[in-house]
Structure 1
């Protein structure tokens, strides 16, 4: 493929969109692979305005629409709330569906999202450039690479700024540095680009969650891109630093890599940053849950149909933020404060110490079994041996079945005085990675507590029942980190006065 065939973003489009932003109007965002809207939540809070989203999961798509687009007419709201397959919906078709009239390249100022990276290693630079210049190329690619689809939307809608998010491993995926190669293509399309690794805990999120972020801004607006400075500090556990170093193995960082796009992660200054937000800071004001310990919780779906009032308590600054987030205020209580039914494990949870993982939990379970077996022998007056049915039944009812050597990190009890570890999408399946720090409650975290740890405000509504809601939260970008990134991008968009057009003309795009 001849690189000269790449078509850079049109200068007139850049000028029109930038002038609109400089006139004070909110930049219009489109969220691709949006999930329930962690990025949208942060961008809207920073002064952007979402015009729509593309999301494949029905529950997540509906959550996004309920929270950000509920003011649309009923028929248009239905369109927003429907799941959309980005591999089948063309940008022009999407603009028509969203009733955005006029040239499609004048409707979107900023594209945000985290496209999955599956199959990228089998595609590489040549296919990236092909898609950048030929919109049909993706449709002819049977591997259906979603990163390519993201770039196709960029090519067609011509945003003046872009934000991509993904896991750190995207920097070393099958021998490819996807972020670097994506920046190469975006650079040829007329964007200044950069990418780095950011940990959400440094931006006021009560969770240590490391992700790759890529920012691109039209080169006529910004000569280079920057990333937000940390506002909070904590000493990160060794495991996170090790994961970061593995991800950075393929990154160009030397003195002779001036053409590389990697930006060294900003360093938190302990002297000037606030202490990291802890799990207790984030969760202590929420209602206690204990009915599972007295038989009040039954197995089955958990719906969000019962309001649980807030208890009287002193609010931390973080709790105040979660209750008073503009547009998502909540002064009454919460409906999604629901937990998993795990009767075998409550006594194990109670005995675990903060920071304990599965090996320690397993030892507690075996000790519980031995105590219960001794009690059973006393009350029955029988010698109950390892081959007996009673012995096996009691073992199964007390001890988890997972191999300690294969699943050392499957369980973990949170520390009250530290931020939580990374929430994962498999919260939708078990939740053992986040056992509540309060021994008296002896449980895994609730849906609302997971949302708090991702900095989703209490007024944010999650569509569906418990399992889909856990999955939506686990997949999301923490809202406060998204807000910091959005504010940084908005500063870049407003920092340079290119030739202005009339306010009247700016209103037309």
Structure 2
């Protein structure tokens, strides 16, 4: 099998590279040779997954499962048992802040050179963090001088990305970014159009017009929209709606496909729409849990008492009395509320029984579920979660703040303003993930609170666990997230869904498997280094 080298920048926990690694066809596959990430806990997750990939599919050692299941083995002991695989993993996963210094750039170049080994056809993954270009970031930077904006570290990371493109000339690059990039403007100029021009000619964008890399050009294509001339593509044509392409989540991101100009870009198959799995399809088989209690001693008795008190209180509220079906559902919860459910943990025994995508998620050797631990909630929030989950089950939608009984309004200064305006993010501060629909976008904010990610089952009365969020992001069950729970949520929320990446890999494989490449090896020029930010 022909193995195409892959380098993953700004890798996070490795969602993009996981999807490419998992792709395989009779004659072509992808070999993830290097991943670079600056956050320590995401890097630790990346390193462990790199170690896992050093073994043939289905042949990871039992010691790996002992470690991720928390059965007394440390990661140091695991790596010591398999030193060759651990050494290779360490050569592929790197803790490094791209573009942070001259030394960091030199080390990055060494990593990339070693990874591609002189190959003309290789793939670059990842997008530079562009919070400066996002919807929220755009508002913050609207009145900032261009010179100040371009000195922003995130802009420097973008220039580092261009430098790597210009110097190492990947056959294909896949760049992911926030949807807000499509409409962002700076000084009245479209940021997105400027970025497309930069990516089409990265050496020119870096003012390397006299260097050996000045001739490098890319066609920038959409994975989902075909037009006779790529120049006719609109910014919206690059937005991928994840649920439209079989993901169990309503996630919209810009994903660009860059094809080196010496490789014919036409024709190739765009992603094919397919019916998405629902929340119930992909998390309904996970062991039911109860949340913990915060701000007071936790116990099964205390939790049951608070949930029952919350249910009985909601039943007496005047607004709820006007909804007979909602009252009936709450009364059913009171009758069926279980006692003594676990709160979960690093590992929970069980057997996956997925309704969709079982082959993608399940690993029969795991014999359970990782990172499946409920977070703690204040007793006052349990009543809100109970109301929201019952409302969703009865009415098929999540309630807005306007649907809440006044007694359940959160004690927050934004409540009055939200009710008065009738719109804004705070109106949907509490949101249930409906069993029969794809989930809301999984984002890193869930590390701060779970109000936007309430489980559909009122008998559990909690927000989603890391594993449930990972399922909605399509991480395989044997993918273990390092760090504490907050750090795990952040990693999952920041990732590209691996299954979506796997579908992108199919498009790239079609390009590289059928197109002849006349690419040259990376140019070595002093001017490239001199032009680095």
- Normalising by structure 1, report the TM-score: 0.67
1:361-389 C-alpha deviation (Å, 9 max, x unpaired): 752x715xxxxxxxxxxxxxxxxxxxxxx
Equivalent residue of 1:52, what SS? strand
The equivalent of 2:447 in structure 1 is 428
The equivalent of 1:389 in structure 2 is none
2:75 is the counterpart of 1:84: no
Q: What root-mean-square deviation, in Å, do the aligned CA atoms of Structure 1 and Structure 2 show?
A: 3.3
Report if the CA contact (8 A) 1:227-1:485 is conserved. Answer: no
Distance 1:120 1:348, change over 3 A: closer
2:384 is the counterpart of 1:343: no
- Out of 139, 150, 166, which is 1:155 matched to? 166
Per-residue deviation, 1:28 = 0.9
Per-residue deviation, 1:403 = 2.4
Q: Aligned runs of 1:391-470 on 2, under 5 Å?
A: 399-401=410-412, 403-404=414-415, 405=418, 407-470=426-489
Partners of 1:51 and 1:282 lie apart in 2 by 31
Partners of 1:437 and 1:453 lie apart in 2 by 14
2:122 is the counterpart of 1:109: yes
Per-residue deviation, 1:147 = 1.4
Q: Aligned runs of 1:285-324 on 2, under 5 Å?
A: 285-290=285-290, 292=292, 295-296=299-300, 306-310=346-350, 314-324=353-363
Per-residue deviation, 1:82 = 4.9
Report if the CA contact (8 A) 2:219-2:258 is conserved. Answer: yes
Unaligned ranges ≥5, structure 2: 24-28, 55-83, 135-149, 202-215, 223-237, 304-342, 419-423, 521-533
Per-residue deviation, 1:186 = 3.2
Partners of 2:126 and 2:476 lie apart in 1 by 20
Report if the CA contact (8 A) 1:322-1:458 is conserved. Answer: yes
Partners of 1:224 and 1:181 lie apart in 2 by 24
2:188 is the counterpart of 1:183: no
Q: Aligned runs of 1:279-290 on 2, under 5 Å?
A: 279-290=279-290
2:211 is the counterpart of 1:211: no
2:169 is the counterpart of 1:164: no
Report if the CA contact (8 A) 2:16-2:501 is conserved. Answer: yes
2:120 is the counterpart of 1:93: no
Report if the CA contact (8 A) 2:15-2:498 is conserved. Answer: yes
Per-residue deviation, 1:436 = 0.4
Report if the CA contact (8 A) 2:385-2:454 is conserved. Answer: yes
Number of aligned positions between the proteins: 378
Equivalent residue of 1:481, what SS? helix
- Out of 512, 525, 533, which is 1:493 matched to? 512
Distance 1:455 1:319, change over 3 A: same
Equivalent residue of 1:307, what SS? strand
Per-residue deviation, 1:229 = 2.5
Report if the CA contact (8 A) 2:49-2:479 is conserved. Answer: yes
Report if the CA contact (8 A) 1:39-1:112 is conserved. Answer: yes
- Normalising by structure 2, report the TM-score: 0.64
2:249 is the counterpart of 1:222: no
Partners of 1:198 and 1:190 lie apart in 2 by 24
Distance 1:280 1:304, change over 3 A: closer
Per-residue deviation, 1:52 = 1.3
